[in-house]
Structure 1
Amino acid sequence: MLTIHAAQLVLPVGAVPVGDGAGGAVAVDGDRIAAVGPYEEVSAAYPAARVRRWPGLLTPGLRQDHARELLTRCYHPDPREADELGELPLWGEEFERIAAAMDAPRRAGSVRRGLQRMLRHGTTHVVGPFGADEPALRTAVSRAGLIQVSPPYPPEAPGPADLDPFAAGGDLASTVHGPLTVGGRADLAVFDVPDEAALRAGGAGRCVATVLAGRLVHRAR
């Protein structure tokens, strides 16, 4: 089914921003991008398409450079554990305490929740490797639909990694998986902010929707 994702501003990265007048739009056919341009032009070209309207800014999906650390050196609490452990990822001594008594199902649950939280931050690509010696981790990443990309690794950041790919201070061009191009895979993120400066200031926690290979995998309530 062909879908048009419309927002006030579309930043394709590597091309001119689209957002004058009625805003910008990305048409998605299956798992591929069919068009990027002003909403009026895209909607006229695909009059039968379903239209999803989003607030703010539409960009390519983001890349999480510290996915391995977030999934293997961090515990993502189950909501049922919130009274005891809170809702934020646990690092360092707290993680070591939990890991010492963690069985395989509990570890797998933490990984799944970590991946879901990445999706809620507009992430569509994760830096590996997730090797053959870690089949459960590799399977979880594959089932979540996130795309594994190869190193080189980024410089190691001090302290715990962050679910927000912008936490290291990079701009949009250095944080997305790649530009939005016609014929390319439809990996998109939408943020309830007016422009890139506001996105970098507020972070990827402002994500309201993530589209992975044309599928809406996260939508803020």
Structure 2
Amino acid sequence: METIHTAGEVRLDWEGGEPIPDGAVVVAGDRVAAVGTFAEVRERFPRARVRRWPGVLGPALVHRGPVPDAPTPRERVHAVLKLGAVAVLEEYADLPGLRAAAGRTDVVVVASAAPPVVREAGRADLAVFAEDGVCVATVCAGRLVHRRH
């Protein structure tokens, strides 16, 4: 089943590309099926579940610093997800337990990273940020893995 993630503004990248007002991203499995205005994608995917988010929806981030401290590797990975990131740099994921926890949640460990983008057929890694910059929700490989209450 597809899910439409929609917000008042969707960004395909965080590098200054033009935002899509009343935008939406359709997620099917672990992939992006479509991007456009909510009206456009709703017409193409009338049976999809809809998740409306406050804030700006865009690509999930790469966590570029040390993984936050927590009692267990799983909690450390979840702390990264709460920041809107679904990837960590290899140099900061150097412990086997941390890499295993990342793998179980589909968080990617990368040697280096290009700026993240949302594109059709790409992996469905999304994040929603409130006006104050706090992460509202994180989607990792198509799954909602963090939602601020």
State the identity as a percent.
Answer: 43
Which amino acid letter does the alignment assign opposite residue 126 of structure 2?
L
Gaps of 5+ in 1: 77-105, 153-173, 194-201
Alpha-carbon distance in 2 for matches of 1:190, 1:46: 21
Runs of 4 or more off by more than 4 Å in structure 1? Answer: none
Q: Tell me whether 1:49 sits opposite 2:48 in the alignment.
A: yes
Q: 1:58 maps to which residue? A: 57
1:70 corresponds in structure 2 to 67
**C-alpha root-mean-square deviation of aligned residues, in Å?**
1.9
1:211 partner SS:
strand
Q: 1:142 aligns with which of 103, 122, 145?
A: 103
Corresponding pairs, count: 146
Partners of 1:151 and 1:38 lie apart in 2 by 32
Give the aligned partner of residue 199 of structure 1: none
Distance 2:112 2:26 in 1: 31
Q: Deviations over 1:50-76 (max 9, x none)?
A: 10011110010011111xx335xxx42
Determine if the alignment matches structure 1 residue 192 to structure 2 residue 130.
yes
TM-score, normalising length: structure 1: 0.61
User: Are 1:12 and 2:12 an aligned pair?
Assistant: yes
Q: Give 1:16 deviation, angstroms.
A: 2.8
Flag structure 2 segments of 5+ consecutive residues without an equivalent: none
Contact between 2:67 and 2:80, CA under 8 Å: does it hold in 1? no
Greater strand content: 2
- 2:146 aligns to what? 218
The answer on whether the counterparts of 2:77 and 2:98 sit within 8 Å (CA) in structure 1 is: no
Q: Which of the two has greater helix per residue?
A: 1
**Distance (Å, rounded) in 2 between the aligned partners of 1:151 and 1:24:** 29
Distance in 2, Cα, partners of 1:70 & 1:179: 22
